[in-house]
Chain A
């Protein structure tokens, strides 16, 4: 638990909190981007270079943009959220969130006890990731590729369909 860890933790948590509490939706999206950046820095701090840079490239470079486009194209940023940020059923939400957090925390702590205590985490090189993806995990890779392709085709069909119906 080095000072760097604490700084990054504060950054990520602040980003996450801001993402749910800010009124302006686009501000929330930008705060979410800060949270993503914090996560990427965590990965880098743990020497997982590929994961960290892929996080930046994909989450900040594509997912955040997607979120922002979605906000803009649905024009909800014009109307400022009125009536406070808390919904009416905030108590139920709090209980459910606490329950999920408890489950996650228990799972992580129990899993951490089961890990062998090593002095240093071996750096996973890109070569190893590549070999693993093409060897042991090739089936999940291909399934994910199929999923992405179907999403792409679906997006194109939806967009084309809209164009035709607009005619």
Chain B
């Protein structure tokens, strides 16, 4: 019974498909998988937009939207109707083909990333050998669409926003990949389902999630920072900050194309959060061995939602980083930390099991972090402000 609840979507798909002749079954099964992904994630996107607005509101001592539907839950419907009925304004001198194609490329690249995420036991759309690499390859393709959007609008400010966005995304690709690399080193494969399997073991009821190891914890923190920067999410949202460059690279988009960009951004957030959950938080495995009766997909989506809450929480707390602060942070702090993290992960593996490796690894990470912190703080000369008044 628990098994069946866990595999309920697989069983449903197989039952729907067994009506068809044998040589059609595989194709239709894949199509159904794709349809499921395309149905679930935009719905989740709608839910998360409301959750974000209400969450941000509560953090800022106000209600969020609460007029449309109970507790404002139908707000995305209203937003969708608004986006669909707005006039689609394309600037006269804009490059029409590229202007049209840019949101499409973004949405396609972002949805492709879901095909390798294991959302439950046996619930991967395409279990590729180099799944992790495919995911990051799709992430890299989104940068191209950002650039296309900014350039085709023939607007200086959109172009500026696009260049900044692309520079930011390229800078943070490196820590994103390298923090994932530590996981690949330890688990020994690029296949995401194998990585989750490796974390699905329990000692004394506690799971073997990589986040509980020193390099995994640092890796998760660095991965989250890089993920927030990749998806242009606050505090790294200078390219699209409303008070900075109007809307940055999607200034000239209105109506449905803007909704597509918005969708692409949030769905990108989901996929990167899903990847983080898969790499560090054990994907679909339960936190305690006794909780294994809860279906695996509930754990995956639960972790996804917790990651979303973290993103929203950080958005509501931190001020926006300036472009040079952002880039400094990437190249001078995050990348050295990821390199040290790789080294620590290698040390973890070669010291061998036992308490020694815990002590050594934590010591190295904390020492390096404190050292970097001291250097940065000393160099910046932070301290109480001194005021000079006009005489």
Judged by a CB distance under 8 angstroms, whether B136 is at the interface is yes
Classify chain A's interface size: 20 to 34
Docked CA distance A26–B152 (Å): 10
From known contacts A65-B166, A72-B163, infer whether A57 and B129 are also in contact, taking CB-CB under 8 Å.
no
The DSSP consensus for interface residues of chain B is helix
Chain B residues closer than 8 Å to A53, beta-carbon distance: 130, 133-134, 137
Give the residues in chain A near B122, CB-CB below 8 Å: none
Let me know if B144 and A54 touch, CB within 8 A. no
Query: Is B346 at the interface (CB under 8 A from chain A)?
Result: no
Q: Does B6 contact A (CB under 8 A)?
A: no
Q: Is A64 positioned at the interface, with any CB of B under 8 Å from its CB?
A: yes
- A49 interface neighbour in B98, B128, B138, B139, Cβ under 8 Å: B128
Given contacts A49-B129, A49-B130, A126-B130, contact A61 B151 (CB under 8 A): no
B136 lies within 8 A of A57 (CB): yes
Given the known A-B contacts A53-B130, A53-B134, A68-B147, are A30 and B173 also in contact in the complex, defined by CB atoms under 8 Å? no
Assuming the A-B contacts A53-B137, A61-B141, are A30 and B148 also in contact, with contact meaning beta carbons closer than 8 angstroms in the complex? yes
Report whether over half of chain A's contact residues are helix, strand or loop; otherwise say mixed: helix
Which of A33, A65, A127 has the most chain B CB within a 10 Å cutoff?
Answer: A65
Q: Which of A53-89 contact B (CB under 8 A)?
A: 53-54, 56-57, 60-62, 64-65, 68-69, 72
**Quick one: given A50-B130, A53-B133, A53-B137, are A33 and B144 in contact (CB under 8 Å)?**
yes
Q: Are B137 and A57 in contact (CB under 8 A)?
A: yes
Q: Does A125 contact B (CB under 8 A)?
A: yes
Min Cβ gap B190→A in Å is: 5
B interface, size bucket = 20 to 34
A-B contact count, CB below 8 Å?
63
The A-contacting residues of B in range 143-158, CB under 8 angstroms, are 143-144, 147-148, 151
Task: Write out, one digit per residue, whether chain A residues 84-128 have a CB within 8 A of any chain B CB (1) or not (0).
Answer: 000000000000000000000000000000000000000101110
The answer to whether B144 touches A50, judged by C-beta atoms less than 8 angstroms apart, is: no
Known contacts A27-B98, A56-B137; is-contact A65 B129 (Cβ 8 Å): no
**B133:A72 contact, CB within 8 angstroms:** no
Verify if B140 is at the interface (C-beta below 8 Å from A). Answer: yes
Report the separation of the CA atoms of residues A49 and B189 in the bound assembly, to the nearest whole angstrom: 13
Q: Which residues B105-151 have CB closer than 8 A to chain A?
A: 128-130, 133-134, 136-141, 143-144, 147-148, 151
CB <8 Å contact, A60 and B130:
no
Whose C-beta in chain B lies nearest to the C-beta of A53? B133
Which residue in A50, A56, A65, A123 is a CB contact (below 8 Å) of B147? A65
Does B170 reach chain A (CB closer than 8 Å)?
Answer: yes
Binding site for A on B (CB under 8 A): 95, 98, 128-130, 133-134, 136-141, 143-144, 147-148, 151, 159, 163, 166, 170, 173, 189-190
Q: A49-B133, A57-B137 are in contact. List 9 more A-B contacts (CB 8 A).
A: A54-B133, A56-B138, A61-B137, A65-B143, A65-B147, A126-B129, A126-B130, A126-B189, A126-B190
